[in-house]
Amino acid sequence: MDKTVADLRKDYTLEGLSELEVDLNPFIQFKKWFDQALVAQLPEPNAMTIATATPDGKPSARMVLLKDFDERGFAFFTNYNSHKGQELAENPQGALVFWWAELERQVRISGYVEKVSETESDQYFHSRPANSRLGAWISNQSEVIESREVLERRLQEFKSKYENEEIPRPPHWGGLRVIPTEIEFWQGRPSRLHDRLLYSRLDNDTWKIERLSP
C-alpha cells in the first residue's frame, strides 16, 4: 500500500545535545556544527532559508546561501531591489533556518538585519565567476519578464560591454548581515523528544542558554 503524507516519519537517533557539552558562545557552537556538516560532505551545507516580512506583517521565505559568518552575524548577498531586499529595507528583521537532515540537526537564527560594508560587498563580488558577476547586472530580481530569451539576450549584451573590462559591482547588489538576538540549536531525538537549546543575547552581549520543550 502506498504511504500517505501523514504516514511519513523518521525516528531520530544519531546524537543528543547537552547544556554541559555546548560552547557558551553560540557562534563557536555554530562553527562546530557547520564544520561537522562540511566533514560529512552534505550537499550545500551553507544553504539556508531566510524569512522576511513586510511592515504590515505579510511573511515570505526563500533559500539563499550563507557566505560569511563571525561574531558580527551571518552574511549573504543579494539584489537590494529584490522582494527580500525591499522587505528588509522597510522592516529590518529576519530569521534564518539551516536544516542538515543527514545529521538530524536544525539551527534557527533571528535578529536585526543590516547591509555589510561596501568593502565587503566589493571583495565578495570580485571573487565570483565572471558570469555570476554579469548575472548581477542582468537580472532585475523578482520582476516579471516576458521570457527566458530576455535574460539570454541581456547576457550577450553585457558580455560584449565588459569583454575587455573589469566588471564593476552594481550599486543595487551587495551583502546583508543578520545580527542575531536568538540562536536555537535543535538535535533530533527518539520519540520526538528532541533537544532544543536556545541562546538569547543579553544587554551586555553575553548569552543565556535555556532548554526548550520539544
pLDDT on residue 1: 58
Domain formed by 13-124+172-211, architecture: Roll (2.30)
Q: Would you give the end-to-end CA distance of the chain in angstroms?
A: 31
The answer to whether the annotation marks 186 as part of a ligand binding site is yes
pLDDT on residue 3: 81
Low-confidence ranges of the chain (pLDDT < 50): none
The answer to whether the annotation marks 63 as part of a ligand binding site is yes
C-alpha closest to that of 30 among 71, 61, 85, 67: 71
pLDDT on residue 134: 93
pLDDT on residue 181: 98
User: Catalytic positions, please?
Assistant: 192
Long-range Cβ contacts of 161-165 (<8 Å, 24+ apart): 162/134
CA–CA separation, 3 and 210 (whole Å): 38
- Per the CB < 8 A criterion, the answer to whether 88 and 179 are in contact is no
pLDDT on residue 119: 97
CA–CA separation, 194 and 139 (whole Å): 42
The answer to whether the annotation marks 150 as part of a ligand binding site is no
Dihedral (CA of 25, 179, 173, 168) sign: negative
